[in-house]
């Protein structure tokens, strides 16, 4: 039986149900002309039958409902129907219960109305919550049982007094119930987009009829009166409207929903298939699907760029024969147990054979694909060609090692050269001094000038060698990193510069400096070089040096500011290079290595150094030091 036939049957059932409901409504109206008791019995019977039908239809069709509203209401209707039967049997004139009073059926009516009204309020609030309908049924059973016990033990307030009519409790309850139903309509309106318009309209109309009935039940004084009759008719109409909504939702709508969902699923699957196809086709990665016996089932166009094979040349061929180098043939099959043991996914590095016999290096990601029977059916290979990356990586590693070896050789050479030059230079200086003392008074004027040039040159050579040795020892002769208090390092640097500070009448002011992981000796040397420069390159005013520190997220920034002659912008980088001097020796002595040593010390500690300055306006040398060790602490001395 196809879907259209089933939907047609559902609609026929709904039409038949509506015709039957109209007939029942007409029968009830006719019975009111014969006997009110007969009318009441028919109304309550039909209401109970409708309530039970609502529950049965909703319970049967619950898996097709996309929210809990009608399910909660159907359970409420089940217990309202049960209470309605007891209300019918207890009605005045039936003579079944002792006393034949109108109070008991009125109390039962109020209980059923409270259950219905509260359910109408709760249902919209739990529409999309996960509910156990079995527990919902049990909860309603407990509430109904408590109500019956309260009525039987006279705990429940009286609702009707013979001779007086409705009690204030009953009238007030009807208004409370009506107010709850108004709230229910508002809550339902807020959720209107969840329902089809036809179902929403049926539910709202049903609640409106319920409210009308409740208001009529506040006015009657005679249980056989006209207002009581109209109230029952309004209630019957409300139940029939809910019945129509349930039939529409539980019988007609499921087929619409099923086939609409199937169509939507089809469209979604088609869209996802096209999307996946586009990704595979345009992916800059190799995509292969290989059967468990090694036959290539599918490839993507990118493999043509990597291997030179056409897609049509690879499909149905053996993977190992076509694409694996001879030494690796069949190696991938050993990964199948690993795939099964690792959530059907794994990765490995392998090689791929091109059409012209070259070998490409590939990083593979593998995923086991399930077949139609739920067992492993094929393997999805996704590969990234890393041949060039690895070649460049190997070249880079080789060059880095070569550079490191060259640097070590240069450091060794600089150390050995400067160290070994010290001794002959000392001899030259010593003998020049001896020559000057012994024969100086016998030399003429030109000879004395030549002697002074020789002594001065030897002295400068000794200074240059000393500085070169210091530069080479920054890396090779550095000490272990320890926690260095930069305030103590500054004190040592100022102590070493005491003569220069005093002679120049310099002032050094420093804020609180941090403790850093560093080579203590080199920190003293760094501060001494920078402060010494500030004293050396001073202007006409006495030197003033300000030292400040700023804490950053992962490092400290230390600034040394002076009021000296400043540095032109074009020389800001040049001054940190070896043997770079901006002034003649006659103006400012030195070898031009001091700032190069400072730069190398800072870089050894993982920091940076730069200058901010304008000519004639002083300079600020700024360097950073990591808060933690950012690189290898030191290198062993050659």
Identify the domain containing residue 3 by its residue range: 1-34
Whether the CA torsion 579, 584, 587, 589 is positive or negative: it is: positive
Assess whether pLDDT exceeds 70 at residue 606: yes
Reported as type and span, the H/E element at residue 482 is strand 482-485
Q: Are residues 160 and 129 in the same domain?
A: yes
**Of 390, 422, 443, at which residue does a domain stop?**
390
Least confident of 122-131, 273-282, 320-329: 320-329
pLDDT at position 274 is 80
Assess whether pLDDT exceeds 50 at residue 9: no
Q: With respect to residue 44, please indicate whether it lies within any of the assigned structural domains.
A: yes
Q: Are residues 7 and 41 in the same domain?
A: no
**521: domain CATH number?**
3.30.565.10
Q: With respect to residue 418, please indicate whether it lies within any of the assigned structural domains.
A: no
Query: CA–CA separation, 537 vs 543, rounded Å?
Result: 9
Assess whether pLDDT exceeds 70 at residue 242: yes
Q: Are residues 254 and 342 in the same domain?
A: no
Q: What is the mean pLDDT of residues 600-606?
A: 87
Q: Are residues 92 and 227 in the same domain?
A: yes
Least confident of 192-201, 284-293, 390-399, 508-517: 192-201
**350: domain CATH number?**
3.30.450.20
Q: With respect to residue 239, please indicate whether it lies within any of the assigned structural domains.
A: yes
**42: domain CATH number?**
1.20.1070
Least confident of 141-155, 210-224, 402-416, 464-478: 464-478
Q: What is the mean pLDDT of residues 346-357?
A: 79
Query: CA–CA separation, 565 vs 619, rounded Å?
Result: 8
Q: Are residues 9 and 78 in the same domain?
A: no
pLDDT at position 13 is 47
> How many other CB atoms sit within 10 Å of the CB of residue 440?
12
Q: What is the mean pLDDT of residues 508-516?
A: 91
**Cβ atoms of residues 331 and 349 within 8 Å:** no
Percent of all residues in the chain with a pLDDT value above 70, rounded to a whole number: 73
Q: What is the mean pLDDT of residues 409-423?
A: 62
Q: Are strands 544-551 and 507-510 parallel, antiparallel or unpaired?
A: parallel
Would you mind telling me the total number of residues written for the chain in this entry? 638
Q: Are residues 25 and 124 in the same domain?
A: no
pLDDT at position 343 is 59
**Cβ atoms of residues 151 and 111 within 8 Å:** yes
**Cβ atoms of residues 30 and 267 within 8 Å:** no
Q: Which residues contact 603 (CB under 8 A, 6 or more apart)?
A: 609
Can you list the pairs that 3-6 forms with residues at least 24 positions away whose Cβ atoms lie under 8 Å? Answer: 3/255, 3/258, 3/259, 6/255
Q: Are residues 487 and 584 in the same domain?
A: yes
Q: Are residues 117 and 246 in the same domain?
A: yes
SS3 category, 369 = strand
Q: With respect to residue 446, please indicate whether it lies within any of the assigned structural domains.
A: no
pLDDT at position 233 is 76
Least confident of 69-83, 312-326, 331-345: 331-345
Highest mean pLDDT among 20-34, 551-565, 589-603: 551-565
Assess whether pLDDT exceeds 80 at residue 474: no
Query: CA–CA separation, 459 vs 462, rounded Å?
Result: 5
Least confident of 35-49, 169-183, 195-209, 467-481: 467-481
Averaged confidence pLDDT in the chain: 77
pLDDT in tens, 619-637: 899 999 998 754 443 333 3
Q: What is the mean pLDDT of residues 558-562?
A: 92
Domain total in the chain: 4
Assess whether pLDDT exceeds 60 at residue 545: yes
Angle at 402 between CA 398 and CA 406, to 5 degrees: 170
Least confident of 142-146, 482-486, 580-584: 580-584
245: tokens are: 């909504």
Whether the CA torsion 517, 519, 521, 526 is positive or negative: it is: negative
pLDDT at position 270 is 83
Query: CA–CA separation, 134 vs 112, rounded Å?
Result: 20
Q: What is the mean pLDDT of residues 332-357?
A: 70
Q: In what order do the strands lie in the sheet with 619-626?
A: 507-510, 544-551, 555-562, 619-626, 609-613
Q: Are residues 377 and 493 in the same domain?
A: no
Judged on CB neighbours under 10 Å (0-12, 13-18, 19+), 401 is exposed
Q: With respect to residue 603, please indicate whether it lies within any of the assigned structural domains.
A: yes
Q: Are residues 535 and 595 in the same domain?
A: yes
Q: Are residues 156 and 79 in the same domain?
A: yes
Assess whether pLDDT exceeds 50 at residue 381: yes
151: tokens are: 């009525």
Least confident of 66-70, 184-188, 394-398, 549-553: 66-70
* Structural Rg of the chain based on CA atoms: 50
pLDDT in tens, 254-264: 555 444 555 66
Q: With respect to residue 590, please indicate whether it lies within any of the assigned structural domains.
A: yes
503: tokens are: 């002679």
Three-class DSSP labels, 132-184: CHHHHHHHHHHHHHHHHHHHHCCCCCCCEECCCEECHHHHHHHHHHHHHHHHH
pLDDT at position 358 is 84
pLDDT in tens, 300-316: 888 888 888 888 888 88
The model's confidence at residue 534, banded by pLDDT at 50, 70 and 90, is confident
Q: With respect to residue 417, please indicate whether it lies within any of the assigned structural domains.
A: no
Least confident of 81-90, 115-124, 312-321, 463-472: 463-472
How far is C-alpha 76 from the geometric centre of its chain's CA atoms?
43
- In sequence order, what are the beta bridge partners of 483? 517
Q: Are residues 20 and 74 in the same domain?
A: no
**Of 346, 372, 390, at which residue does a domain stop?**
390
């Amino acid at each position: 039986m196809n879907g259209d036939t089933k939907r047609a049957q559902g609609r026929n059932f709904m039409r038949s149900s509506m015709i039957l409901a109209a007939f029942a409504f007409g029968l009830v109206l006719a019975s009111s002309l014969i006997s009110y008791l007969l009318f009441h019995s028919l109304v309550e019977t039909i209401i109970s039958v409708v309530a039970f039908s609502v529950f049965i239809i909703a319970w049967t069709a619950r898996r097709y409902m996309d929210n809990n509203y009608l399910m909660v209401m159907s359970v409420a209707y089940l217990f309202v129907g049960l209470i309605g039967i007891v209300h019918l049997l207890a009605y005045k004139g039936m003579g079944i219960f002792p006393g034949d009073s109108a109070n008991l059926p009125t109390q039962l009516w109020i209980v059923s109305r409270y259950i219905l009204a509260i359910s109408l309020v709760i249902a919209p609030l739990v529409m999309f919550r996960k509910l156990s309908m079995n527990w919902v049924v049990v909860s309603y059973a407990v509430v109904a049982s408590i109500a019956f016990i309260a009525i039987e033990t006279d705990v429940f307030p009286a609702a009707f007094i013979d001779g007086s009519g409705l009690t204030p409790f009953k009238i007030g309850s009807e208004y409370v119930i009506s107010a709850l139903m108004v709230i229910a309509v508002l809550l339902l309106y807020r959720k209107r987009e969840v329902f089809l318009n036809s179902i929403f309209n049926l539910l709202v109309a049903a609640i409106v009829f319920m409210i009308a009935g409740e208001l009529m039940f506040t006015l009657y004084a005679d249980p056989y009166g006209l207002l009581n009759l109209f109230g029952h008719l309004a209630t019957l109409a409300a139940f029939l409207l809910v019945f129509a909504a349930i039939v529409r939702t539980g019988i007609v709508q499921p087929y619409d929903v099923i086939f609409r969902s199937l169509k939507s699923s089809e469209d979604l699957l088609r869209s996802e298939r096209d999307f996946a196809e586009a990704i595979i086709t345009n992916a800059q990665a190799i995509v292969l699907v290989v059967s468990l016996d090694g036959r290539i089932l599918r490839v993507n166009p990118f493999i043509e760029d990597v291997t030179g094979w056409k897609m049509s040349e690879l499909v149905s061929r053996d993977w190992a024969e076509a694409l694996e180098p001879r030494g690796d043939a069949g190696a991938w099959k050993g990964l199948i147990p690993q795939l099964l043991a690792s959530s059907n996914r794994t990765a490995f590095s392998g090689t791929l054979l091109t059409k012209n016999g070259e070998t490409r290096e590939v990083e593979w990601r593998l995923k086991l694909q399930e077949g139609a029977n739920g067992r492993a059916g094929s393997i999805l290979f996704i590969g990234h060609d890393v041949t060039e990356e690895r070649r460049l990586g190997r070249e880079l590693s080789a060059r880095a090692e070569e550079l490191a070896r060259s640097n070590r050789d240069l450091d060794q050479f600089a150390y050995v050269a400067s160290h070994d030059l010290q001794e002959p230079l000392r001899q030259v200086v010593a003998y020049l001094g001896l020559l000057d003392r012994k024969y100086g008074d016998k030399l003429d004027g030109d000879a004395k000038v030549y002697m002074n040039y020789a002594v001065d040159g030897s002295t400068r050579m000794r200074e240059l060698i000393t500085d070169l040795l210091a530069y080479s020892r920054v890396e090779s002769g550095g000490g272990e990193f320890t926690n260095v208090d930069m305030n103590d390092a500054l004190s040592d640097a100022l102590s070493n510069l005491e003569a220069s500070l005093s002679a120049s009448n310099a002032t050094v002011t420093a804020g609180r400096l941090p403790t850093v992981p560093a080579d203590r000796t080199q920190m003293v040397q760094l501060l001494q070089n920078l402060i010494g420069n500030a004293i050396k390159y001073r202007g006409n005013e006495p030197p003033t040096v300000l030292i400040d520190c700023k804490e950053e997220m992962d490092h400290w920034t230390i600034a040394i500011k002076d009021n000296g002659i400043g540095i032109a912008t074009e020389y800001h980088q040049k001054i940190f290079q070896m043997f770079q001097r901006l002034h003649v020796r006659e103006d400012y002595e030195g070898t031009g290595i001091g700032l190069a040593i400072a730069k190398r010390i800072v870089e050894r500690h993982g920091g940076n150094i730069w200058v901010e300055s304008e000519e004639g306006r002083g300079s600020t040398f700024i360097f950073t030091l990591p808060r933690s060790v950012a690189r290898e602490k030191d290198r062993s001395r050659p």
